[in-house]
Amino acid sequence: MGDKARIAVLVSGGGTNLQALIDAQNSGLIDAGEIVLVISNRENAYALERARNAGIEAYAVTRKSCGGQEGWEARVTELFDSKEIDLIVLAGFLMILSKDFVTRYDHKIINVHPSLIPAFCGEGYYGLIPHQEALKRGVKVTGATVHYVNEIADGGEIIAQRAVYVEDGDTPETLQRRVMEQAEWQILPEAVAKLCNNIVSSR
């Protein structure tokens, strides 16, 4: 296992994208990487349960318990260092990271966003909101994007995108589900697999 890229996943909620990554690791799609750490900024996130069920070390680290954002980032950095993390994946992670933090991990943090960036993205666009806005604008195609994380919300370089058609009668909830199934759960594991291959081959 020592030659694999070491992955940390940051989560805030149910962890469906985390599950997609665990499944991709188990199936061999992610063969050059291993998820060794899962961190949630919410104590009751079901994603922590998913991680533990898969035998992955998992921690709840809240801003409150760390005395604020700076303390939180210091604690998370300690955990990353202790696990020698190569790649950080934001999978339904609903906290904005500081410029210092993302600069420290330049081109090592990726995020999956439920729209075709640059549409319906940026600060405040999370959860159902991108899908509500897509329906409100009447777009015929939406999708998901995997991108590097920088100091601008959803502003980093795009790694992968997949389009999903909007169907007549869609609600934000039905559209969200289809975007997850047809785009997010596909392109996030594929992007992680590719980046892990690059990390391992560049050693």
113 is catalytic: yes
CA-based angle 149:13:132, to the nearest 5?
A: 75
Which phi-psi region, left, alpha or beta, contains residue 55 (left: φ > 0; alpha: ψ -120 to 50)? left
- The mean pLDDT of 153-171, rounded to a whole number, is 97
- The mean pLDDT of 100-110, rounded to a whole number, is 97
Q: Is the pTM of this model over 0.85?
A: yes
Residue tagged active-site, from 107, 113, 131, 147: 113
Distance CA 144, CA 27 (A): 22
Output b/e per residue, 164-175; b: 16+ Cβ within 10 A: bebeeebebeeb
Residue 49: give its domain's CATH number. Answer: 3.40.50.170
Owning domain of residue 184: 5-201
Overall domain count for the chain: 1
What is the structure's pLDDT at 137? 97
| 1 pLDDT more than 70 | no
Q: How far is CA 72 from the centre of its chain?
A: 18
| 2 pLDDT more than 70 | no
Distance CA 1, CA 7 (A): 12
- The mean pLDDT of 78-93, rounded to a whole number, is 97
